[in-house]
Chains A and B, each alone.
Chain A
């Protein structure tokens, strides 16, 4: 089959690799109909995620049709149309039982690596390094899904792939980020980063009752899209974010702050240059600029919710500030299965159509160039969906210019 493979830092190739096979009793094989590139994939692309091997198949946002099931895969049949969570969870350990699905004890065959690094291992992820299990990902024609009796969610015929695909990661991720804020009526929520996760966090914060959402970003088209969702926007290149947030909240600060940026934050202030220099010299693993700002901005007793990914030991982390203000910090990979069914219901009821974030629709074969476009945020790129088996475009480095695509970016 054809699959998107990591060949090294900033080197992605579509290659022919062996088809997956059932390996365990609770497995299923999915024929992928639609898959997407995630902001998390950019951390891999940039070489920020350790334990990637040459030839690893990428991708953790995918959906498709069940073509084979293991002998103990109950509740799923060949022909079912499903969307698959990016985390791999057994459904039976103490963590899964407490709805802490992304902390599953039993899915990571390389748990010892994570234990060496963090003391404990969480759930394995699709296509996300050997530290996270070494499972081949879903940017491919077929993918093996372990524990398929508790992972894949069946989707009704009336909904298109594009409407439900983001149940695989970024919609639940944005939603959990907002839920972790413990939003009360009248609250103001500030969101750093208006990538796909930030966009869903903004929508979700409103769904959960926020009175006002303030979006912080520098890319104009991403800010514009946040504004379309009803957010007030701040371009951090043009003003002092902390001052602006104080202004907007009568000096108090936002009730909750969401860091939807993660370890590769961009920044122009002194601390950001310090991070950059240290990372270049391999003295630091993360650049927590947005996180520092979120902690500084948050009101006393507020919550900082961190869906953005961090991997190492953070430098100049303002714990004193967090302590002085009695902040609550909430974070982690999304507990997917706890959110997927109820968010599918919201889509069915028409409360949200997640396809609003798609800007680029391409053939799987065109993935390599699109990784760069997405990273550079060229061509107003916000979210890329890919179809395996579709004919590639020429030239390979450009996104497609289908009527569909133009209609969307014009809207």
Chain B
């Protein structure tokens, strides 16, 4: 639970950071416990958008179209929790990439999201279903984008919810299939907020991402998300 942020920052700011991180993880936890009852529904990329609490400062790279290693910088260091998941689809890489790139389509398979609106210039506004039906909102921007290969993002300075993450796409089986890898980073919270979160949390965060990816695959391959009953 070591916080390796710059020591120059005030304790107050730091507390705010942890609170922001806590809210995000609570959101994730809410989705996970919902999964326990419904057997399927998961709050996925809540986890991704938690970053500020991790670093205590904004990543240096905030502008679009930077060098290829900008994602590495955004996700850099060993601090926090890294979540990595991958999945394979029977679809050509172009189709898979294009689907993911339409950010407004993400809520179709990331069930905790209400909507994502692209606001231009690589920026987007995100609205998630928060605990107790209070929505949680934040802004993010794409920091790196290479067609059919890579998409990386982070939340904008001033957002309550902070995260960084990347998705990479690669050709397998002579181009008949595509492999998608997601990498997210956030840090477990500390202090009183952390203790509260820890009781709520206690599950594999990668499972959440896994369910999102599974639905993404179902949507692309089968054209629909499998469900057994009207409630799911």
Residues of A within 8 A of B (CB): 21, 23-26, 72, 90-94, 97, 105-113, 124, 130, 133-136, 146-147
Contacts and interface: CB of A to CB of B under 8 A. Distances in A.
Contacts of A105: 217, 221
B177 A110 contact: no
B147 interface: no
A90 B223 CA distance: 9
Given A94-B177, A109-B40, A134-B39, A26 B227 contact: no
B90 A111 contact: no
Contacts of B88: 94
Contacts of B227: 23-24, 109
A64 B218 CA distance: 28
Contacts of A97: 90
A26 B223 contact: yes
B222 interface: yes
A21 B90 contact: no
Q: Which 3 A-B pairs have the closest CB atoms?
A: A90-B222, A134-B228, A106-B222
Given A91-B222, A105-B221, A109-B225, 19 more contacts: A21-B230, A23-B230, A24-B225, A26-B222, A72-B223, A90-B221, A92-B90, A92-B221, A92-B223, A106-B217, A106-B221, A106-B226, A107-B226, A110-B39, A110-B40, A112-B40, A112-B207, A124-B228, A147-B222
19 contacts: A24-B224, A24-B225, A25-B224, A90-B218, A92-B221, A92-B222, A93-B221, A93-B222, A105-B217, A106-B218, A106-B221, A106-B222, A106-B226, A108-B226, A109-B39, A109-B225, A112-B35, A133-B226, A147-B222
Interface residues of B, number: 23
A85 to B, nearest CB: 16
A71 to B, nearest CB: 11
Contacts of B90: 92-94, 97
A124 B226 contact: yes
B229 interface: yes
Contacts of A124: 226, 228
Contact of B232 (A91, A92, A109): A109
Interface in B117-173: none
Contacts of B214: 111
Nearest to A131: B39
Counting chain A CB atoms within 10 Å of each CB, the highest count among B88, B211, B223 belongs to B223
Contacts of B229: 23, 134, 136
B210 interface: yes
Contacts of B177: 94
Interface in B196-232: 207, 210-211, 214, 217-218, 221-230, 232
Nearest to B224: A24
A112 B210 contact: yes
Given A92-B90, A109-B232, A112-B211, A25 B223 contact: yes
Contacts of A94: 88, 90, 177
Interface in B161-198: 177
Contact of B224 (A21, A26, A108, A111): A26
B155 to A, nearest CB: 28
Contacts of B224: 24-26
B91 to A, nearest CB: 9
Contacts of B223: 25-26, 72, 92
Contacts of B228: 109-110, 124, 133-136
A17 to B, nearest CB: 11
Interface in B30-71: 35, 39-40
Contacts of A90: 218, 221-222, 226
Counting chain A CB atoms within 10 Å of each CB, the highest count among B40, B207, B225 belongs to B40
Nearest to B226: A109
Nearest to B230: A23
B222 A113 contact: no
A390 B88 CA distance: 48
A26 B218 CA distance: 13
Contacts of A130: 39
A176 B137 CA distance: 54
A105 to B, nearest CB: 7
Counting chain A CB atoms within 10 Å of each CB, the highest count among B210, B211, B224 belongs to B224
A172 B35 CA distance: 36
A382 B228 CA distance: 31
A392 to B, nearest CB: 28
A167 B98 CA distance: 41
A150 B230 CA distance: 22
Nearest to B210: A112
A109 B225 CA distance: 8
A74 to B, nearest CB: 11
Contacts of B230: 21, 23
Contacts of A135: 228
